[in-house]
């Protein structure tokens, strides 16, 4: 970029940034669209110029001379960047010395900052091969989107370094990991890395559970909340339906919730908890719709003096009958399949409701939660129920 062109670019950007904050509200549609596209391009070009400038700053060792700091530490201190961002910019800046064609394309706005980051990583893995193919890679980066560019880089690396690609694939599989830990406030944190195969499996399972919920315009959950519910539903389904699960102490895997009868029945009483962490009483009543129950009688000082025999609120045969009678969640308009649903007592069993087919309806986790928070079905009745079989057919369904 020539000095004249660069100064004109900076002057136009200054004019935009010096305008009042609310001025954009009054722009005509076409001008607003043009402004957005212009700012997006300017941001990409400014990023390239930033990388170029950081590279020269680093080459001269100015951070060490002025503050006895590394370039990364200087950027963290003076620019108030995170360490991660500073590391990425410095890495790109140092690689740009050997990537002049890529840097020129980025400064001209032809290659985005994300594309530069991907090309920089490719350069670090294949320095010699990248140098002889830089013009081609920078060119394809100017018109491919990020996913397409990722595939192009993958094909390039397969051609120039097959053995390294295979080793990387093996390392990704070996290095897959998942961490699950409970925080001090009772929340659970899930983190980790999955290799392409396992990641695709988990992604497909969660998306197949989330996508149908997008049709429900009344569902106000964010995508992150939908994914959390989907993961819990998938695990709940496995615990409920998988007959091959191992047992511990003679029992299949189970979740223990401690609750006083008063709280479960909806009257005043100590709040329910899971491992000492309080849970929403409405959520507890949803859980209790389809759960085993153990009675523990305590004396006045909460010392256990009698432990009753557990009773399964929804026996497996009854659940199969409910799944046979209903095609989907009982909430009007929801098409979640019955196999992914909880079984809800229309009259809660803590209030005397019976565990029979006339008092049971399948509800997906989202709508089950709504019901226990006081929201009745939108049509005033449950839907999705087939005509109930009678006689022998009914017995066979059970």
Q: What is the DSSP letter of 183?
A: -
Token pair of 117, please? Answer: 């980051």
Domains in the chain: boundaries: 3-174, 197-251, 261-397
Residue 97 CA to residue 104 CA, distance in Å, equals 11
- The DSSP secondary structure of 303-328, one letter per residue, reads -EEEEPPPEESS-HHHHHHHHHHBSB
- Interatomic CA distance for residues 384 and 327, integer angstroms: 6
Q: Which burial class, exposed, middle or buried, applies to 356 when counting CB atoms under 10 A from its CB (0-12, 13-18, 19+)?
A: exposed
Contact indicator for 296, 308 with CB cutoff of 8 Å: yes
Distance CA 293, CA 259 (A): 11
One pLDDT digit (tens) per residue for the chain, 398 residues: 555 555 665 666 666 666 676 777 888 898 888 888 888 888 888 899 999 999 999 999 999 998 889 999 999 999 999 999 999 899 889 988 888 889 889 888 899 989 998 999 899 888 888 888 999 999 999 999 998 999 899 889 888 877 777 777 777 777 889 998 988 888 889 999 988 888 888 999 999 888 888 877 778 889 999 999 999 888 877 776 655 554 444 444 455 556 666 655 555 666 666 666 666 666 666 666 655 555 544 444 544 444 443 444 567 777 778 888 888 888 887 888 888 888 888 887 667 777 778 888 898 888 888 888 888 887 777 876 665 544 443 333 33
Q: CA neighbours within 13 Å on the CB side: how many for 43?
A: 9
pTM, rounded to two decimals = 0.47
- List C-alpha distances in Å: 83 to 53, 80, 91, 170, 189: 18, 9, 12, 29, 23
């Amino acid at each position: 970029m020539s000095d004249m062109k660069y100064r004109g670019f900076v002057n136009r950007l200054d004019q935009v940034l010096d305008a009042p904050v609310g001025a954009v509200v009054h722009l005509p549609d076409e001008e607003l669209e043009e402004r957005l596209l212009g700012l997006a391009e300017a941001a990409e070009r400014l990023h390239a110029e930033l990388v170029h400038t950081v590279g020269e700053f680093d080459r001269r060792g100015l951070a060490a001379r002025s503050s006895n700091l590394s370039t990364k530490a200087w950027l963290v201190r003076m620019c108030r960047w995170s360490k991660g961002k500073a590391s990425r910019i410095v890495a790109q800046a140092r690689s740009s010395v050997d990537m002049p064609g890529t840097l020129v394309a980025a400064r001209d706005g032809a290659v985005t900052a994300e594309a530069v980051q991907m090309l920089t990583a490719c350069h670090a893995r294949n320095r010699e091969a990248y140098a002889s193919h830089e013009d081609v890679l920078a060119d394809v980066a100017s018109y491919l989107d990020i996913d397409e560019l990722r595939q192009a880089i993958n094909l390039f690396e397969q051609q120039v370094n097959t053995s390294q690609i295979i080793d990387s694939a093996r390392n990704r599989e070996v290095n897959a990991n998942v961490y699950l830990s409970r925080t001090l406030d009772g929340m659970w944190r899930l983190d980790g890395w999955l290799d392409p195969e396992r990641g695709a499996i988990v992604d497909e399972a969660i998306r197949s559970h989330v996508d149908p919920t997008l049709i429900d315009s009344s569902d106000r959950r964010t995508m992150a909340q939908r994914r959390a519910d989907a993961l819990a539903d998938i695990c709940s389904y496995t615990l409920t339906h998988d007959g091959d699960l191992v047992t511990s102490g003679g029992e299949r895997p189970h979740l223990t919730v401690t609750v006083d009868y008063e709280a479960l029945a909806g009257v005043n009483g100590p709040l329910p908890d899971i491992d000492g962490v309080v849970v929403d009483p409405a959520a507890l009543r949803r859980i209790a719709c389809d759960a085993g129950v153990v009675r523990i009688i305590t004396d006045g000082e909460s010392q256990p003096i009698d432990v009753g025999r557990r009773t399964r609120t929804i026996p497996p045969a009854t659940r199969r009958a409910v799944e046979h009678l209903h095609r989907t969640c009982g909430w009007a308009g929801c098409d979640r399949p019955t196999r992914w649903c909880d079984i809800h007592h229309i009259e809660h069993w803590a209030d005397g409701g019976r565990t029979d087919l006339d008092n049971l309806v399948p509800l997906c986790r989202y709508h089950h939660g709504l019901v226990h928070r006081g929201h009745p079905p939108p049509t005033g009745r449950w839907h999705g129920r087939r005509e109930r079989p009678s006689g022998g057919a009914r017995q066979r369904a059970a």
